[in-house]
Amino acid sequence: MVLFFISQIVVSQVTFTISGTTQTPEEPLPFVNVYIEGTTKGTTTDINGNYTLKGVVPGKYALIASHTGFTSQRKIIT
């Protein structure tokens, strides 16, 4: 199985909120570690595969999604 994740960025003054859903081709994937590479900013998805990262300053980042038994995914976001 391959891990897919969808993200969106919402601008709020001088910081961003990054949110999305992790899923397999069949269903949402809960308890995925989602974090910004090279930082301590991260979270774990809920039972429905949803995640939110608040207070992200503007910039270019690599968003990583990892889960035991799946190939980690890396997505560049700006």
67 vs 33: CA distance, rounded Å:
6
Reported confidence tier of residue 11, pLDDT bands at 50, 70, 90: low
The pLDDT tens digits of the residues spanning 48-74 come to 999 999 999 889 999 999 999 999 999
Fold for the domain defined by 4-77: Immunoglobulin-like (2.60.40)
**What sign for the dihedral angle of Cα 68, 49, 27, 35?**
negative
All structural domains of the chain with their residue ranges: 4-77
Enter the pTM of the model. Answer: 0.80
Determine the 3-state secondary structure of 9 from DSSP. strand
For residues 74 and 50, the answer to whether their CB atoms sit within 8 Å is no
Q: Which helix or strand (DSSP H or E) is residue 32 part of?
A: none
